[in-house]
Structure 1
């Protein structure tokens, strides 16, 4: 899990990682400024950084996303799109 911007949900995710351990939840939280986010976007656009995505779920299918995560055995990340 990557959380951009430190907020109450991010703090909850970090707390969950300590309760459930490294094998269940790993978190990273950052509060980058616009320059850092622009540089990151440029790396993705140029192909220097290529995220590996296994599947994308709309927010309405969050249960299916959780089930896929629980099954495991995939290469890449499950993405939940919260807006389109």
Structure 2
């Protein structure tokens, strides 16, 4: 597990660590207390990935196109 705070992680870093956490849990060779900590970290990483994906989707949806299909600017997205 990384020492980096989940809320500071990029999507890619959170996804990589989430894959590691899932792998460790699937192997089943982790002690119970560590499994609980891994599960909690995994849940936080999953939430971070979902939040970053939603943020990206909102940014893409906010792009407006002109008649020729070229971006004309960004429409502000609430909270960004």
TM-score relative to the length of structure 2: 0.25
Question: In proportion to residue count, which structure has more helix?
Answer: 2
The structure with the largest alpha-carbon Rg is 2
